[in-house]
Amino acid sequence: MDGFINKLRSLDAYPKINEDFYRRTLSGGVITLVSSVVMLLLFISELRLYLHAVTETKLVVDTSRGETLRINFDVTFPALPCSILSLDAMDISGEQHLDVKHDIIKKRLDAHGNVIESRQDGIGAPKIEKPLQRHGGRLEHNETYCGSCYGGETSDEACCNSCEDVREAYRKKGWGMSNPDLIDQCKREGFLQKIKDEEGEGCNINGFLEVNKVAGNFHFAPGKSFYQSGVHVHDLLAFQKDSFNISHKINRLTFGDYFPGVVNPLDGVLWTHQTPSGMYQYFIKVVPTVYTDVSGHTIQSNQFSVTEHFMSAEQAHFQALPGVFFFYDLSPIKVTFTEEHISFLHFLTNVCAIIGGVFTVSGILDSFIYHGHRAIKKKMEIGKFS
C-alpha cells in the first residue's frame, strides 16, 4: 500500500516549495493585482456571452414553392390627392391586381401634412334626385335605377349606377374617359369638382398586398389603369392636368413580418420632385429569410436591397407614366438566423482558458522582470553596468 502511495506521489506535477524559499517582490504584487483585474473582466465578458443568446447565420438554397409574398407599405404623397391616386400590382406569371382597393387605407392630408379624412378607397358623393336611366329617361317614383355605361356595357342588362362604375366599365374595355362632365353619374356626383376641391392636398396610403412569390412590380400612379393594345396605361385625361408631382416619403416598406435585427433600407426615405413629370423607380432584390429564436419560434420573412432611378418625361420622350414604381425580384438563396445559447461545457472551457492563460502570461512577465532586475543589480554591484 505504501509503495502504491509513493508511486502516486511521484506523479505530482505540482511539487511544493518550502515557504522559507519564497521571496515576494513589489513588481510581483503589481502584476498579481493587474492580472486579477484582467481575469475578472474577461470572466464577466464570458459570462455575459454565456447568458445571452448568439445568432448563427447560414445560407441555403431556397427550395420553397407555391408560397405568397406579403408586402406591407405606408407611403405619403404630399402633392397628390387621394381621389386620383391608385395602386396596381402585377407579376411575371401574368397575375394582375389593378386599382387595388382592399386592405388599404387612404388618408387625405392638408398642405401641412395633417390628416383631413381617413377612408377606404373610392371617391363617393351624394346622389341627386332623378338620375338619368339607361334607356334615356329620368328615374321616376318606385322605379329601379339602372344607369347607362355609355358604351362600356358587357351585356344588355349591365348597369352603371355611379361614376366609379362607368370608369370601371371603361377600364375593362381599355378606354379612357376624356370628359367626365359628359357622363351623367360623374356630373351628378361632382367628380371634377371633387378633384378641384382636393387640389393642393396630399395623400397617405397604407396597407398590404398579398402577391405570388415571383418577380413582379407594384406602383402608385394617378388615374385608373387599363390595358390598351397589350400596354399597361393609366387614364389621365379625366383629371385635365398636364403634370403630376410625385414627391413621396416611404414611411415603411417591408416584405414579410418583422424579426429582430432586420433593416429595411427604404424606411423614412424622402424624395422631392423637381421636374414637371416623370417616373420614379425602385429596383428591389428580395432575400428570403427565416429567423428562429431561442424558444424555437420561427418567423418566415424577407430582407431586401434596393437601387433607384428617376426617368423624366423628357428622357422617355413622354412615354413614362408618372408614378412611383417598385420592381422586385427574389434571390434563390435563403438566409437563416438561429438563436442559440452557448453550452455550459464551452463556457467552462473558456473560463479555464482565461484563468490559465492570464496566470501563465503573468508568471512569464514576473519572471522576466525579476531576473532582469537581479542581473542589472548584480552588474551595478561589480561596477560593470553602464
Question: For residue 206, what are the contacts with CB-CB under 8 A and spacing of at least 6?
Answer: 73, 74, 75, 104, 105, 107, 251, 252
Q: How far apart are CA 240 and CA 235, in angstroms?
A: 10
pLDDT greater than 50 at residue 197: yes
User: Where are the extended beta strands (E) located within 133-228?
Assistant: 202-212, 216-222, 224-228
Q: How much is the pLDDT for 126? A: 42
pLDDT band, residue 124 (cuts 50/70/90): very low
- Can you give the length of the chain in residues? 386
**Percent of the chain surpassing pLDDT 70:** 80
Q: Are residues 234 and 335 both part of a single domain? A: yes
List the beta bridge partners of residue 71: 209, 255
- Residue 121 falls within a domain, yes or no? no
- Domain CATH number, residue 251: 2.60.470
pLDDT confidence of residue 125: 41
Q: What is the pLDDT of residues 343-385, one digit of tens each?
A: 889 889 999 999 999 989 988 888 888 888 778 878 777 766 5
Q: What span, in angstroms and rounded, lies between the C-alpha atoms of 85 and 243? A: 14
The answer to whether residue 47 sits within a structural domain is no
Do 96 and 153 lie in one domain? The reply is: no
Note whether 216 and 253 are same-domain residues. yes
pLDDT for the residue numbered 95: 87
pLDDT at 1: 72
| Contact yes or no for 282/269 (Cβ under 8 A) | no
173 and 190 co-located in one domain:
yes
pLDDT at 234 over 70: no
pLDDT of residue 111: 83
Instruction: Give the pLDDT confidence of 284-310 residue by residue, as tens digits.
Output: 999 999 999 888 899 999 999 999 998
Least confident of 38-52, 165-179, 223-237, 264-278: 223-237
Is the pLDDT confidence value at 47 over 80? Answer: yes
Residue at which a domain ends, from 149, 168, 199: 199
Per the CB < 8 A criterion, the answer to whether 80 and 108 are in contact is no
Backbone angles phi, psi at 60, to 5 degrees: -135, 160
| φ, ψ for residue 235, nearest 5 deg | -80, 100
Q: How far apart are alpha carbons 14 and 4 in whole angstroms?
A: 19
Residues of the domain holding 148: 126-199
Domain count, the chain: 3
Provide the pLDDT for residue 127: 43
Provide the percentage of residues in the chain whose pLDDT is more than 90: 32
Other Cβ atoms closer than 10 A to 22: 7
106 and 210, same structural domain?
A: yes
Per-residue pLDDT at 8: 78
Q: What pLDDT was estimated at residue 235?
A: 62
Name which of 290, 214, 294, 256 is nearest 59 in CA terms: 290
C-alpha span between 331 and 295 (Å, rounded): 28
Band of pLDDT at residue 254, cut at 50, 70 and 90: very high
